[in-house]
Structure 1
Amino acid sequence: MNQTQMFSHNMFGNLEILIQNGKEYFPATDVAKVLGYTNPTKAVRDHCKKDGVTFYSVVISEKNQTVEKKFISEPNLYRLIVKSKLPQAEQFETWGLHDTAYDKCFTARS
């Protein structure tokens, strides 16, 4: 079963995380933009392994339209973080991999 969960951050905006078969996937293009890549599509293509990429239909509420969106696995997320040269990559790593993980654990226990 697939589900999505929205996480918000004042610096990074909203990220819709996909949970697929118990694994988390992150919105590829959105993450690459947050990490400062000037060409997010190329960054994902160059740095992410194909077996950690999945597509999922999401609804864009502003346009009332369904689109296929590319999501990447957590290992691919790490690859993008490591390759980014901007200081915000470390801040994103802290938020995306530590704070949201804590929130998920806390929410699951509540």
Structure 2
Amino acid sequence: MLCTVALAALQNVVDPELGLNVVDLGLIYQVDFDDPGKTIYLTMTLTTRFCPMGESLAAAVTRALQSTFPHDDVSVLLTFDPPWDHTRISAEGKMFLNK
């Protein structure tokens, strides 16, 4: 239930280069709650290691989760293992991108 709420909040975080939210883009790898009211651990990636919007996207993800869960701390881990590729894009995302 909490993960569903978190993913819904993250659908408001849009990659400015593609115009697609980070969930449908497949950038969110994992969301874990350590005792509700304590810490949310989120693992995400970027489309490339050198994404110029990386820091901005991670900050926007943090803000979205803090807004939805104001009593929790948020810890965002950026990883490139496994590396992102287009197969991670959701069906809705592919329709949005016309792929």
- Structure with greater proportional helix content: 1
TM-score calculated relative to the size of structure 2? 0.35
Q: Which structure would you say has the larger RCO, counting Cα contacts within 8 Å and 6 or more residues apart?
A: 2
Q: Which has the larger radius of gyration?
A: 1
Task: Tell me which protein shows more strand as a share of its residues.
Answer: 1
Normalized against structure 1, the TM-score is what?
0.33
